[in-house]
Amino acid sequence: MDLQFAVPGFPERNAKTYADAWAVAPGGPATNAATVFAHLGGAATLVTGVGRHPLTDFIMADLATSGIALVDLHAGQAVVPPIVSIISSRDNGDRTVITRRPDPVTTAPDPSILGAVDGADICLVDGFFLEAALALAARARDRGVPVVLDGGSWKEGLERLLALTDIAVVSERFRPPDLPAGTDVLTALHERFGCRRIAVTRGERGIRAFEDGHRFEVAAAPVAAVDTLAAGDFFHGAFCFAHATGQSFPAALAFAARVAGRSCAHFGTRAWLDHIDDLRGEAQSFAPARD
């Protein structure tokens, strides 16, 4: 659960700060990616842990509004989701996030979750709920469904997930801990883990990418940033939508950059979705030329 405040500048120590705006919404990389995927017109199934607690109804209502189907890894369990506090600066859209990791799933994932992949066009995984992600990625591989890794930062065990990854879309902070200094992440993810397509996002500095032995760059969408919260999550959801609807790798990256930029122009993670209609069907228009 994201509890977000927009403030004129970052607070001083031992001082009270009044927010200009605030917002509350379910969050997390997979939830936000599924949300934008659904609002672009895709049919999203979210595999995560919700469980039973006072916030369950609020979360379920948000997923229903977006038309997202839920596979609950914490079904029937009394758990509390991470309550995430976000301070967003009105100066430039930067944000500070205070969070904790979600409660782990203490048992092996029920095999019934694997049905979420059957009939899918794409499978997005990250480093949370690792055992469930591994099972889903393996099932996707068996079914010929492309597996996309959302790599914000390195998490323990990700080498196992990378071995099942077709497309790695990672941030510039993402780096295997044993990678020698000076080794390029694009090269490492391809040669060590066999990823066929790789993209490294760098915020306003654009994207470095690799496909079929070729390297290329995709420019970031210019935007006057109001709030950058979840922009990376929305990037992944939009990329998956464009790729699943048949767009080329460069085109899907460019479309995702445009969607992520649009999200930064509005405060919060839900209000901007009212302005997404004109982005549907635009993916092919933003394919950059490769070197």
Q: E strands of 77-159, at which residues?
A: 84-89, 95-98, 123-125, 147-151
Q: From first to last of the 291 residues of the chain, give the pLDDT tens digit.
A: 999 999 988 788 898 889 989 999 999 999 999 999 999 999 999 999 999 999 999 999 999 999 999 999 999 899 888 889 999 887 767 788 888 776 666 567 888 899 999 999 999 999 889 999 999 999 999 999 999 999 999 998 999 999 999 999 999 999 999 988 888 999 999 999 999 999 999 998 999 999 988 999 999 988 888 888 899 999 999 999 999 999 999 999 999 999 999 999 999 999 999 888 788 767 555 555 444
Residue 281: the pLDDT is 63
Cβ neighbours for 173, distance < 8 A, ≥ 6 positions apart: 152, 153
Residue 101: the pLDDT is 72
Residue 67 lies in a domain: yes
Instruction: Output the CA–CA distances (angstroms, integers) from residue 92 to 16, 259, 274, in the order listed.
Output: 21, 19, 22
Instruction: Output the CA–CA distances (angstroms, integers) from residue 74 to 52, 107, 125, in the order listed.
Output: 8, 10, 18
Question: How is residue 73 annotated by DSSP?
Answer: T
Helix (H, G, I), strand (E, B) or coil at 217: strand
Report the candidate in 291, 155, 270, 161 with the shortest Cα–Cα distance to residue 215.
291
Task: Write the CATH number for 249.
Answer: 3.40.1190.20
Residue 91 lies in a domain: no
Amino acid making up residue 146: P
Cβ neighbours for 110, distance < 8 A, ≥ 6 positions apart: none
Amino acid making up residue 88: S
Residue 4 lies in a domain: no
pTM of the model: 0.92
Question: How is residue 101 annotated by DSSP?
Answer: P
Residue 95 lies in a domain: no
Q: How far apart are CA 221 and CA 69, in angstroms?
A: 30
Determine the Cα angle at 190 with ends 185 and 192, to 5°. Answer: 90
Q: Residue 108 sits in which domain range?
A: 28-81+102-286
Residue 259 lies in a domain: yes
Residue 14 lies in a domain: no
Q: How far apart are CA 24 and CA 261, in angstroms?
A: 21
H or E, element range at 167: strand 167-171
Beta-carbon count within 10 A of 7 CB:
17
Residue 291 lies in a domain: no
Residue 218 lies in a domain: yes
Domain count, the chain: 1
Q: How far apart are CA 98 and CA 8, in angstroms?
A: 19
